Amino acid sequence: MKPEMITLKHGDTTIKMPASSLAKLAVASVFAQVLPPAANVQPITPASIPPLGAEWPGQGGLNGGLVAAHGDVPAHYLIFAAKDIGDHEWGGRGVELKGLSKTDGYTNTQVLIGNDDERKYHAANACAEYQADGHHDFYLPAAAELYQGWLNCPEVFAHDCYYWSSSQRSASHAFGMTFADGTQDNLAKSYELRVRPVRRFFI
């Protein structure tokens, strides 16, 4: 069965094409008019990606490596702040919060800073308040995100201390990590450990 053909004429030009092809072109044209232009998104080329652990100009810190898409979170690069922001308690000792994970530090931090409990979550608050290069979306990394930092650029972290993650172990403990060897331990929330903010750079 031959496809239905449609003939289009404009001046001296005549185009003959299957009706189905014309319909596809029409739909594509409509979407091009109503959707935001892709040109608004700056493409990332391999040549523009700094080495692991190097400063990423304009992104507020250092390239911590690519994170594959997971669940509702698209693929992105981790951008670790260039420096630590001091030692802080995890906070909230004796309270086991729901909705915290070992992989999603951004959501963890939103839960911690949005909690209306009288106890403050000092490490998460310090990260949420941090700003660099005009970016104000830093957070306390989850245990898996700290581990990625150790895998990709351990040299940019101190090796003589533990760093807090935003991943909770229990009502009294949370996960901390040392960059000397990548060991993760559950440590008392009242301890003052080193803190390094991180943000996501979506691609």
What is the pLDDT confidence band of residue 30, given thresholds at 50, 70 and 90?
Answer: very low
Mean pLDDT of 99-119: 90
A 10 A CB-CB count for 153 gives 20
Fold observed for domain 46-202: Mannose-Binding Protein A; Chain A (3.10.100)
- In this prediction, residue 116 carries a pLDDT of 74
Mean pLDDT for 130-147 is 98
What ranges do the domains of the chain cover? Answer: 5-35, 46-202
Residue 151 has pLDDT above 60, yes or no: yes
| pLDDT tens track for 124-137 | 999 999 999 999 99
Q: Which of 38-52, 95-109, 114-128, 189-203 has the lowest mean pLDDT?
A: 38-52
Which of the residue ranges 21-35, 91-105, 150-164 would you say has the lowest mean pLDDT? 21-35
Does the pLDDT value for residue 45 go beyond 90? no
Average per-residue pLDDT for the chain: 86
Q: Phi/psi of residue 92, each to 5°?
A: 70, 30
pTM of the entire structure? 0.78
| pLDDT at residue 64, rounded to an integer | 98
pLDDT band for position 195 (cuts 50, 70, 90)? very high
* Residue 189: pLDDT over 50: yes
Which amino acid makes up residue 167?
S
Query: So what's the pLDDT on residue 173?
Result: 98
Mean pLDDT on 40-64: 85
pLDDT at 13: 54
SS3 42: coil
pLDDT average, residue stretch 115-128: 88
* Distance between CA atoms of residues 38 and 16, nearest Å: 30
pLDDT the model gives residue 119:
73
What mean pLDDT do residues 138-162 have?
Answer: 98
Whether the per-residue pLDDT at 34 is higher than 50: the answer is no
DSSP result, 126-184: HHHH--BTTB---BPPPHHHHHHHHHH-GGGS-SSSEEEEEEE-SSSEEEEEETTT--E
